[in-house]
Structure 1
Amino acid sequence: MKKTLLIALTLGVSVAATSTMANTVDPETDRQQLVDYFKAKSPNIEFQEYANGAYIYSADKYAQWEAAEEFPPYLDAIDAGEAAWNKDQAVFEKCFGSDVSKIRPQYPYFDESTQQVVTLEGAINKCRTDAGLKPYKWKKGTLAQVSAFLAYNSRGQKIDVKIDSEGAKQAFNEGRELYITPRGQLNLSCAKCHTYNSGRMARANTLSPNLGHTSHFPVFRAKWQNLGTLHRRYGGCHKNMRATPFKAQSKEYRNLEFFQAYMSNGIEINGPGYRE
């Protein structure tokens, strides 16, 4: 049982965990095994480099990405996010405090009172609706801009998701199950692309590693020509699998984010990012 996920991924097999099986998974053991797997897979890649996504697998792609980051296309989005924050600053500070550099690292987390995972974007909109303000639209636009502003001010701080209750462990396991379970007409899982086949090509694109996945969101994608949230990307991935995506900020995607963020504990936040 100890090496169930690691062995499955090493063999390139996506395994659907049963409830009994999932409840036996120790999150920290699971996380360390994933780190060990990527170390064995790519021994020359340093742990912190996984924040840079698929670019770590190609020197040419990495150089192109570094050049793009000199004058990144998301700078206007950060400015727009700051303006939106300042517009409703009193409301936001009541929810999050006045130090914008301390907000992003607190998310996602498991709320013991509601027994639900809370994401940054979910907390932003809840803050607004609790104050009688109109929520931002999910996935892109002002919500992504405010999230980018907060991520930018938290760069260099490390992901540090806590799992210290049975409820949090269950949320982790549900996110883990979604990650490793094949879905859609193509019968693909997140794990098959982003763990076992990370670094390989899917058409013209290099598949990014699960490790560090949440560190650089929201991202400006060349394909989108604008900024998008992690849950927007989840939906796009499921469409690529020819599976019906869940709604942004659904329980399923919040738990998936919780699982992925925990697995990337110790990696520095470097959002927002630029991706192809």
Structure 2
Amino acid sequence: MKKTLLSALALGIAVGFSSQVVAVDPEQSRLDLIEYFKAKTPDRPFEDYKNGIYGYDEDRRSQWEMQEEFPPYSDFLDKGAALFEKDKSAYIGCLVNSKDGVDKIRSSYPYFNEKLQQVVTLEGDINRCRTEAGLKAFGWKKGDIAAVSSYLANEARGQKINVVIESEGAKKAFADGERLFVEPSGQLGLACASCHVYNASRKARSDILSPLLGHTTHFPVWRLKWAGAGTLHRRYEGCHKNMRSAPRKVQGEEYRNLEFFSAYMSNGLEINGPSVRQ
């Protein structure tokens, strides 16, 4: 069987990081990942990976389910709804599929813009729509942008992630995101895959390491550590700092490609953001 870069590393095969090592095959990478986690945790259904770490610890899952009955982010969702309604004219017709309903927006991102030849994220488009309407852009990592994004995620709950890759440009963006995910970096010589593939379900101190499968379903997240909400790219930045690796630019090309890769790998899983995490 032809091995993708991710599957080769998961099997412990030593590879270099040139583009000649493996052919880019996004769907094979996704199927390899599903099979890897199926072998790792055979009793866990695919559909449950939308719940991240809560599929590994019954006590934490019980606590989380109780939190979801009276979520700590409920006021934050109200804030996001109010912010969206305040500038609704800037968003409707600008955000993808917004004319079909607010609930259709979140599931349309991220996507590869063939004209621009780059990945477009929801938060990126929120700020683009604002600036094109003459409004001030939000900060990228938390606060108002996380509130609006959380509101749109909540409206889209139950819809499935469906990232499409049809062109060579999109395939390259996926490959670049995959490379960033698997390539070791920083003083500790770790990769994203070190924690979120090979050691998923294990503990780092008191934290359970989450699986790549389902990573983007529940963002933005309300983190207990943050005592608030944050975007996916805020989490990427924090992870790189923990790895003692230089963080990439939030909403820069590298993190947008990483989001594109991560979202594609979770195709078929339901959106259930925002959600509470450690």
Alignment TM class, shorter chain as reference = over 0.9
- Where does 1:14-29 land on structure 2 (aligned, <5 Å)? 17-21=17-21, 24-29=23-28
Aligned to 1:153: 155
Aligned to 1:2: 2
Shift of 1:262: 0.3
Shift of 1:151: 0.3
Deviation digits for residues 176-215 of structure 1 (CA, Å, limit 9, x no counterpart):
0000000110000001100010000111111000000000
* Separation of aligned partners in 2, 1:125 and 1:146: 11
* Separation of aligned partners in 1, 2:83 and 2:194: 39
* Separation of aligned partners in 2, 1:248 and 1:138: 7
Letter of the 2:11 counterpart: T
* Separation of aligned partners in 1, 2:15 and 2:54: 28
Aligned to 1:78: 77
Q: In 2, are the aligned partners of 1:14 and 1:181 still within 8 Å (CA)?
A: no
Closer/same/farther in 2, CA of residues 16 and 229 from structure 1, 3 Å limit? farther
Letter of the 1:20 counterpart: Q
- Where does 1:158-173 land on structure 2 (aligned, <5 Å)? 158-173=160-175
Aligned to 1:140: 142
Aligned to 2:53: 54
Shift of 1:17: 2.6
**SS of residue paired to 1:18:** coil
Given the alignment of the two structures, is residue 178 of structure 1 paired with residue 183 of structure 2, yes or no? no
- Where does 1:1-276 land on structure 2 (aligned, <5 Å)? 2-4=2-4, 5-11=6-12, 17-21=17-21, 24-96=23-95, 97-98=98-99, 99-276=101-278
Could you list the structure 1 runs, at least 4 aligned residues long, displaced by more than 6 angstroms after superposition. Answer: none
Closer/same/farther in 2, CA of residues 240 and 101 from structure 1, 3 Å limit? same
**SS of residue paired to 1:274:** strand
Deviation digits for residues 108-146 of structure 1 (CA, Å, limit 9, x no counterpart):
000000000000000000001111110000110000000
Shift of 1:226: 0.7
Q: In 2, are the aligned partners of 1:15 and 1:180 still within 8 Å (CA)?
A: no
Closer/same/farther in 2, CA of residues 26 and 81 from structure 1, 3 Å limit? same
TM-score by length of 1: 0.96
* Separation of aligned partners in 2, 1:196 and 1:238: 17
**SS of residue paired to 2:163:** coil
Letter of the 2:114 counterpart: E
* Separation of aligned partners in 2, 1:241 and 1:15: 21
**SS of residue paired to 1:220:** strand
More helix by share: 1
Shift of 1:7: 3.7
Deviation digits for residues 51-72 of structure 1 (CA, Å, limit 9, x no counterpart):
1111110111111111111111
* Separation of aligned partners in 2, 1:244 and 1:58: 32
TM-score by length of 2: 0.96
Shift of 1:30: 0.9
Shift of 1:6: 1.9
* Separation of aligned partners in 2, 1:15 and 1:85: 47
Task: Return 92-101 or 126-135, whichever deviates more.
Answer: 92-101
Root-mean-square deviation (Å): 1.3
* Separation of aligned partners in 2, 1:18 and 1:162: 25
**SS of residue paired to 2:222:** strand
Shift of 1:15: 5.2
Q: In 1, are the aligned partners of 2:15 and 2:21 still within 8 Å (CA)?
A: no
**SS of residue paired to 2:42:** coil
Aligned pairs, how many? 274
